[in-house]
Structure 1
Amino acid sequence: MQQKLKEQNVMITGASGGLGERIAYHAAKEGAEVILAARRKDRLMALKQNIADETGAKCRIIALDVSRTDDIKAAFQEAGPVDILVNNAGFGIFENALDASLEDMKAMFEVNVFGLIACTKMALPHMIRQDKGHIINIASQAGKLATPKSSLYAATKHAVLGYSNSLRMELAETRVNVTTVNPGPIQTDFFKTADKRGDYVKSVERWMLDPDQVAKKVVSAMMTNKREINLPGWMNGVSKLYQLFPALVERAGRSAFYKK
């Protein structure tokens, strides 16, 4: 069976669980040499062993907290050339804007935005030199349609989309692709931090995405010029409608938006 990612180095941040873990598995199955980066080295070591047992693929691990931008350069020096970078590390905390702490604001931007940009800057020179590569940024439908109690999280994801769209235009004359992944809620540990009371999870549980299915779509898009991956389709439809008729969507969706 032909493996589309054979001899490609794929680095994934936030790889120790959830969507990042599943992307790592599927990239390894496609023949990639996977570089797992995350804070929890014990989880990474266990995942590395599982990937080796299940796929036989090469796999390396790097302990990295992307909020520590000073450590990112060293991590990429250790990783070596990266052909595909998946900026997956990120978190959210759902609070009213008035109640959200400045510490949470700083932490979310450091991980979701500054860390993503710093990792991208480290990976790009090699990609541009070889005139081939792929930056995949895990954003969110929250980057297209903000809702109550997600002001800070939505702001970070709006920033990711803005950065990605500009970067894509800057790289238009190269064969380096930029893809944003904009999922709705996914069944991962994300909500243990974002939604400590569990109210939001209860209200959207039946619509939650399977991380394995999202991961398959991400891996299938690797080294293609796909602009965006938007999931689920109906939620992306609401986001598109919002761009055209924001006041109407805000009024019509008010009761649903407040289910956090």
Structure 2
Amino acid sequence: MELGLQGKTVLITGASQGIGEGLARSFGEEGCHLHLAARSGDRLEAIKSEIVSSNGVEVTIHAMDLSLPGAAAKLAAEVGDIDVLVNNAGVIPSGNLWDVDEKKWRDGWELKVLGYINLTREIYPRMKARGGGVIINNIGNGGEVFDPDYVAGTTGNASLMAFTRAMGGHSLDDNIRVVGVNPGPVDTDRIYNMLKKRARHWLGDEGRYTELQERYPLKRPAHVHEIADLIVFLASYRSGYTSGTIFTVDGGIASRRSVI
């Protein structure tokens, strides 16, 4: 299927690993020019080199911490006009209310929740001024499953779901689409770290984390491409009537009412 993304310019935050890295490669394969933002400049340089070599597109890296004051405005000024923004940076710590102290909670929200909001605030008017664009928020199915052992994350993700719907409900008036994606467990280091923590708490041995993985649909987390490919499609004109909604990709886990 031709997605019509050739030559589009895409900004991806949190692009140095996991889903963000997968997105960078997938958009590069579609012929998109890329702005990649993350803290790890070395890792971004390596990804840039591989994408440019394979696809011949332009890739600009932005090694920065988006949780810092003024970072969103700085990044928006650096990238200039873009067609697609994928908010992807940030990991909110797991744990219950007493595991996640105020500092950890605030730090997690500063990068992911406020990071998405602040960058949207900067990018949206620029998209409107040049005639339109697409903003996709990679959120997480914790926003649908209110798990007390992921209390900071479930609360933050639910906030971003509400933010996405609130913005996307009227954004097509400005020819901008705002959409959210809620992945469940994905085959990245993050999910295995979370499983090990749960196994330690629930089973007394983090080495038994594979027993928890057996509960997943197909007995595995999602492959990165199963998330990235959807986001690339949502960014394309093929999904041109899609805004103000959230797509959950978790093999049905949220419908079981459990994040595991």
1:51 CA drift (Å): 0.5
Check if 1:216 corresponds to 2:229: yes
CA RMSD across the alignment: 2.1
1:162 CA drift (Å): 0.8
1:98 CA drift (Å): 2.0
Distance in 1 of aligned mates of 2:116 and 2:198: 28
1:64–1:196 CA distance, 2 compared to 1 (3 A): farther
1:232 CA drift (Å): 2.6
Letter in 2 for 1:104: K
**Residues 141 and 183, structure 2, Cα contact 8 Å, conserved in 1:** yes
Which 5+ residue runs of structure 1 have no aligned equivalent? 240-255
Letter in 2 for 1:218: I
- Indicate the SS of the match to 2:62: strand
Q: Deviations over 1:96-150 (max 9, x none)?
A: 2122211110111101111111111111112111232001001111111111310
Distance in 1 of aligned mates of 2:192 and 2:256: 26
- Indicate the SS of the match to 1:185: coil
Distance in 1 of aligned mates of 2:61 and 2:145: 35
1:174 CA drift (Å): 2.3
**Residues 91 and 194, structure 1, Cα contact 8 Å, conserved in 2:** no
1:94 CA drift (Å): 1.7
1:192 CA drift (Å): 6.1
1:65 CA drift (Å): 1.2
Choose the corresponding residue for 1:232, options 236, 250, 256.
Answer: 250
**Aligned length in residues:** 242
Which 5+ residue runs of structure 2 have no aligned equivalent? 201-208
**Residues 68 and 115, structure 1, Cα contact 8 Å, conserved in 2:** no
Q: Deviations over 1:69-96 (max 9, x none)?
A: 3122112211111210000012032212
1:198–1:53 CA distance, 2 compared to 1 (3 A): farther
1:41 CA drift (Å): 0.3
Check if 1:15 corresponds to 2:12: no
1:233 CA drift (Å): 4.1
TM-score of the superposed pair, with normalisation by structure 1 = 0.86
1:235 CA drift (Å): 2.1
TM-score of the superposed pair, with normalisation by structure 2 = 0.86
- Identity in percent: 27
**Residues 69 and 115, structure 1, Cα contact 8 Å, conserved in 2:** no
1:13 CA drift (Å): 0.2
Distance in 2 of aligned mates of 1:56 and 1:87: 24
Letter in 2 for 1:103: K
1:172 CA drift (Å): 3.6
